[in-house]
Structure 1
Amino acid sequence: MNTVKDLHFLSSPSVLQDEEHPLLVLLHGFGSDERDLMAIRPYIDPTWAVVTIRAPFAEGSGFRWYALRSLQSPDLEEMEQALNALKKWFSGLTVRFPHVPPHKVIVGGFSQGGVMALHLGLYQPLREIGGVSVLSGYLPDPPSPDTSWRRLPVFWGHGLSDQVLPYALAHKAHEILIRHNIEITFRSYAMGHEVIEEELHDLMQWLNDVVK
């Protein structure tokens, strides 16, 4: 069994420094690392602080949040360990970012990182989170109908030509979130399993709307 220690992360501060400002926390995909999503920093308004967190388990030259038995069957033990490590990280948020109020914290992720963001924001809600963004993600095992979901706003972007996580998975997830009365902004793009400039512009508009 792997032991999860404190999570490594990169941070890009807000230009507002000692004034109240929003924070975007990003979780990378399977086999990547915290440097990957920091590449979208230029598309995020400079008034936002941005943090990218490294997943706890080694995967080739990168890292993963959990192993996959199959696309719809994550290793639940690893997922739980990763979620607990993320919860511990978020518990120290007010110390690391004293000028960021909870309603201005958005957690987002790409692919597997999007799954983790959904768990943190909706299934195992943290008071330190005000919204969730999912870039090319999926719902591996939707909770039972009696699960109490926190109704945070969600942005979901997905490629129509995604060959890793087919668009049908995103469409199904969209329907599930709607049924649970989640306020979701769903966008599809002419792309594969990736992030494009158009999507980032839409994400930024949504981010600013959510924290108004």
Structure 2
Amino acid sequence: MTSEATLWSKDASQRAGSPLLLLFHGYGANEADLFGLAEELPAEFTVASVRAGLAAGPGYAWFPLGPDGEGGLSFDPQEVKRVSAEIGSWIDSVRGEHSSVSLLGFSQGMAIVSTLARHRPTDFAAVVGLSGFVLDTAEDDFFRDQELAARKLPFFWGRDQADPVVPQPLVESSNAWLPKHTVLTKVLYNGMWHGISAAEIKHVSEFLTATVLAE
């Protein structure tokens, strides 16, 4: 991850002391895909939209992902851990001038932001997942889920029940996992499919204001 692969909503001279919100795009997209959301989110945030490192389709992916033959998705847990550790190191390189760090991920990006929260349960002020999922993983010391549950991290999950992309088994496992490990705000939207709606971004803005800016 490099500065050349990240879009920033504020010049470097304007970032000091601001809360940082990092955006993680979905599979096959790039850092420009979510960057337009910055204009719809609270102006107090410095927003940075990050590009994944793996070429995939017309864009990039955070880690290889494919069907598992049983209605779900297959992935390599070791690759997920490697990429998440790399992203965590990059976050450490930029977080020093900010008052807090929050995460927002769309689709596969939600898998990354939830993994980061599970690996670093005390590092983030809030997490937003849009039309995505939490990876269904075996117990592993990398995933500090008990610490995360004790932390009571605010987590916003927005999706459409008619989303045609995220497999139902992952929806069900995410729906079981999130309330047990986070303080979950879950909102369902009609007619959004696998996307982001204006109503959802308004709710995300309200969530970030209440959980980050009000602290």
What's the TM-score, normalizing by structure 2?
A: 0.83
Q: Is residue 37 of structure 2 the alignment partner of residue 45 of structure 1? A: no
User: Structure 2: which 5+ residue stretches go unaligned?
Assistant: none
Correspondence for 1:101: 99
CA contact (8 A) 2:115 2:135 kept: no
Correspondence for 2:183: 183
1:108 counterpart letter in structure 2? L
Counterpart CA distance in 1 for 2:204 and 2:138 is: 26
User: Structure 1: which 5+ residue stretches go unaligned?
Assistant: none
Q: CA deviation at 1:111?
A: 0.3
Q: Is residue 62 of structure 2 the alignment partner of residue 65 of structure 1? A: yes
Counterpart CA distance in 2 for 1:202 and 1:28 is: 19
Q: Could you say if the C-alpha distance between residues 67 and 18 of structure 1 is closer, same or farther in structure 2, counting changes exceeding 3 Å?
A: closer
Correspondence for 2:112: 116
Q: Could you say if the C-alpha distance between residues 205 and 39 of structure 1 is closer, same or farther in structure 2, counting changes exceeding 3 Å?
A: same
Q: CA deviation at 1:109?
A: 0.3
2:183 counterpart letter in structure 1? E
CA deviation string 1:103-125 (max 9, x = no partner): xx21110000000000111x101
Counterpart CA distance in 2 for 1:94 and 1:169 is: 31
Q: Could you say if the C-alpha distance between residues 67 and 46 of structure 1 is closer, same or farther in structure 2, counting changes exceeding 3 Å?
A: same
- Name the structure with the higher helix share: 2
> Superposed, which structure 2 residues align to 1:114-153 within 5 Å?
114-121=110-117, 123-125=118-120, 127-144=122-139, 147-150=145-148, 151-153=152-154
Identity of aligned residues (%): 28
> Superposed, which structure 2 residues align to 1:159-170 within 5 Å?
159-166=160-167, 169-170=170-171
Q: CA deviation at 1:147?
A: 4.1
Q: Could you say if the C-alpha distance between residues 173 and 18 of structure 1 is closer, same or farther in structure 2, counting changes exceeding 3 Å?
A: closer
What's the TM-score, normalizing by structure 1?
A: 0.84
Counterpart CA distance in 1 for 2:109 and 2:93 is: 20
Correspondence for 2:29: 32
Counterpart CA distance in 1 for 2:76 and 2:15 is: 41
Runs of 4+ in 1 over 6 A off after TM superposition: none
Q: How many residues align?
A: 200
